[in-house]
């Protein structure tokens, strides 16, 4: 029997954004930033499943004629005073084919993803936030798939990189807006309980 090949889709982006307001470091090291860091919004649903562990239903991605619906288990790792990591621990990927009413779980899919966020004070005042996202998606191809892997890897990776860049820009903008709202809130609290953040390799 012909063994199933695995396609590898590579995505990622590195984006920076200046922030004028003070207190960004306090916000990012507090529990108040958990939801914005995870992207919790109208198109991302997150629920806490353990200490610093979350299940997140991510926005769907249109890719090669079908829709991809990721459900991720994410670990939020804080460490030090100027960085944190958002790391995917496991993932379930659902595919919605054209004309289908129900999404199907994609078997044999492996996601390796980590988003490292750093922030540093600027000499002219304010902060510079930088998000460095690395994303690898491995998918088993059907045995009936006879084309070279590159025929699907290249276009899918290009779409994935565009999606990552768009999401990183939106991620930093959302963090800035959430920080502004937090800074204006009366009687705000800072829950400073950092955890270990591994350095991306």
The pLDDT tens digits of the residues spanning 70-93 come to 888 999 999 788 999 999 998 888
Interval 172-194: pLDDT, tens: 999 999 999 999 887 664 444 44
Q: Across residues 133-149, what is the average pLDDT?
A: 81
Q: Report domain extents, the chain.
A: 6-41+76-88+108-183
pLDDT of residue 111: 86
- In CATH, what number does 6-41+76-88+108-183 get? 3.30.310
Sequence-distant (6+) residues with CB within 8 A of 99 are: none
Secondary structure in 3-state letters for the chain: CCCCCEEEEEEEEEEEEEECCCCHHHHHCCHHHHHHHHCCECCEEEEEEECCEEEEECCCEEECCEEEEEEEEEEEEEECCCEEEEEEEEEEEEEECCCCCCCEECCCEEEEEEEEEEEEECCCCCEEEEEEEEEEEEEECCCCCCCCCHHHHHHHHHHHHHHHHHHHHHHHHHHHHHHHHHHHCCCCCCCCCCCCCCCCC
Q: Which residue has the higher pLDDT, 74 or 149?
A: 74
Distances (CA, A) of 193 to 30, 80, 152, 175, 190: 8, 10, 43, 19, 9
> What mean pLDDT value characterizes the chain?
83
Q: Which residues of 32-66 are buried (b: 16+ CB within 10 A; e: fewer)?
A: bbbebbbbbeeebebeeeeeeebbbbbeebebeee
Q: Across residues 5-32, what is the average pLDDT?
A: 92
**Residue 182 token pair:** 């937090």
């Amino acid at each position: 029997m012909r063994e199933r090949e695995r396609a590898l889709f590579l995505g990622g982006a590195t984006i920076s954004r200046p922030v004028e307001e003070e207190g960004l470091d306090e916000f990012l090291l507090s529990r108040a930033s958990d939801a914005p860091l995870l992207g919790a919004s109208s198109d991302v649903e997150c629920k806490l499943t353990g200490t610093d562990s979350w299940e997140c239903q991510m926005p769907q991605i249109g890719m090669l004629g079908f829709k991809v619906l990721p459900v991720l288990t994410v670990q939020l790792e804080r460490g030090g005073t100027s960085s944190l990591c958002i790391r995917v621990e496991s993932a379930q990927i659902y595919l919605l084919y054209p004309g289908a009413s129900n999404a199907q779980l994609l078997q044999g899919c492996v996601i390796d993803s980590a988003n490292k966020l750093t922030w540093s004070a600027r000499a002219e005042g304010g902060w510079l936030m930088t998000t460095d996202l690395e994303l690898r998606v491995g998918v088993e191809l059907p045995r009936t798939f006879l084309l070279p892997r590159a025929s699907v890897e290249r276009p899918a990776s290009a779409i994935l990189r565009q999606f990552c860049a768009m999401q990183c820009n939106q991620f930093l903008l959302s963090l800035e807006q959430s920080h502004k709202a937090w800074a204006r809130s009366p009687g705000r609290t800072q829950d400073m309980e950092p955890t270990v953040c591994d350095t991306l390799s």
